[in-house]
Amino acid sequence: MKKTHLLAATAISAATGLAATGAQADELTLCWASWDPANALVELSQGFEEESGVSMSFEFVPWPNFADRMLNELNSGGKLCDLMIGDSQWIGGSAEAGHYIKLNDFFDEQGISMDDFIPATVRGYSEWPKGSPNYWALPAFGDVVGWTYRKDWFERPELQAEFKDTYGYDLAAPETLEQLRDIGKFFQGREIDGTKVYGMAIYTERGSEGITMGVTNALYNYGFTYGPEGDPYQIEGVVNSADAVEGLEFYRELYECCTPPGSSDWYMSENIDAYRSGQVAMQMNFAFIWPGVNADPDVGGDRSGYFPNPAGPGGHFAQLGGQGISVVSYSDNIPGALEYIKWFAQPEVQAKWWEMGGYSALRAVVEDPGFATSQPYAQTFLDSMAIVQDFWAEPAYADLLLAMQDRVHNYVVAGNGTAQEALDGLVEDWVEVFEDEGLR
């Protein structure tokens, strides 16, 4: 960890006082990605405007450009954003570089406890260093990779009978990766209501983070880990272990056996489109899409079901998504931004956030006895958030991510080399990054 960055963050925390939340700004700008949850947050934030008299404005950037746009804003010390809902992988770099204000003192003074939030979201969205009680964000939007499936297709008696005869077990939401593959093969190229359909849509996008956010859902469940506990940068024989190789081979098999033609560069929006248009029986996607699926006139209601990422031979995990909300240290409106954090953390606001389509990480909301039945996908969200793992949150995460994108895409989609060669190359890339960062 770079000492100068730590000193800068400490100085910012001390200079702002963190307790001085009485003097509010006349206007605040909140920066986030442009997607359905952001629209819900605009509506939710009307409550803050009414209570505080502060006017809220919003800067939303489409996901493909979100990281570049907002990280450039932070790295330049820009004053556009008073509040930032930044991606989970940004937390390390933003904390060390002094982009975010450390919130520990503020949380203590306002009675906001991180014990009140889902532990995985605290670790994923708020902590740096990981595992330490140092908080740079409040968990804002819990998210995780899960699956949507055409429940109405699965329940057709003729398809159930054929599947049982072929595979020897009932056609239902898969509990294992092997079952997921079987179901994908079963639907691949099948005609449903006069239309040729395919098994599944999975993440294959190369340009940003897509295929990494997809392939990890196989890798984790075959035993892949980022490094040994207590020494995470000694990755030789870990990232490229025999189990990890098998997991990467499995993901390539899913791509080859069970996806639509032309799906070599798909991420969230392409998977949504394929599912809603009736092209695929199942789709991999982050949980944020589920409210939209449920409301869709063509595939919504009882026509769709939801299931967590299936277990593999090496474990049961799912890729964490989601974000925390941070106060940008370059803001001229820090007291008002802190007031917004305080307001957003309230249980009644968090309950409304869930009702409006946001994924609250507050335990009082998700552990309420009525939560699991509040929406058709609520139980799947709970089950999924209990099994999450996340990608590197190192300050150099972008270099780590780009290396994985290239290595994995070249093997899974382009079909170049072997899985062992792809992961061996990834280890070489990551070791070089760690050495450049002085971590090895």
Question: Domains (ranges, CATH) in the chain?
Answer: 3-142+322-382 (3.40.190.10), 145-319 (3.40.190.10)
Higher pLDDT, 258 or 19: 258
Lowest pLDDT segment from 15-24, 193-202, 317-326, 396-405: 15-24
Contact (Cβ atoms closer than 8 angstroms) between residue 74 and residue 97: yes
Looking at residue 435, its pLDDT comes to 97
In this structure, the dihedral spanned by the alpha carbons of residues 87, 92, 97 and 101, taken in order and rounded to 10 degrees, is: 70
**DSSP at 117:** B
Mean pLDDT taken over the chain: 93
pLDDT at residue 22 tops 50: no
pLDDT at residue 17 tops 60: no
pLDDT at residue 3 tops 50: no
Contact (Cβ atoms closer than 8 angstroms) between residue 211 and residue 204: yes
- Determine what percent of the chain is predicted with pLDDT higher than 70: 94
Phi, psi at residue 261, to the nearest 5°? -60, 145
Mean pLDDT of 280-300: 97
pLDDT at residue 21 tops 50: no
Q: What is the pLDDT of residues 342-370, one digit of tens each?
A: 999 999 999 999 999 999 999 999 999 99
Q: Which amino acid is at 2?
A: K
Q: Can you give the pTM of this predicted structure?
A: 0.92
CA distance 104 to 127: 10
Mean pLDDT of 110-137: 97
What is the token pair recorded at 365?
A: 């909301």
Backbone φ/ψ region at 109: left (φ over 0), alpha (ψ -120 to 50), beta: alpha
CA distance 214 to 227: 19
Q: What is the pLDDT of residues 190-248, one digit of tens each?
A: 999 999 999 999 999 999 999 999 999 999 999 999 998 888 999 999 999 999 999 99
Phi, psi at residue 328, to the nearest 5°? -75, 130
pLDDT at residue 64 tops 50: yes
What is the token pair recorded at 368?
A: 């309420």
Nearest to 275 by CA among 256, 254, 260, 257: 260
pLDDT range class, residue 25, cuts 50, 70, 90: low
- Determine what percent of the chain is predicted with pLDDT higher than 90: 92
Higher pLDDT, 5 or 77: 77
Looking at residue 229, its pLDDT comes to 82
Looking at residue 230, its pLDDT comes to 83
107: Cα separation from own chain's centroid: 24
pLDDT at residue 181 tops 90: yes
pLDDT at residue 85 tops 50: yes
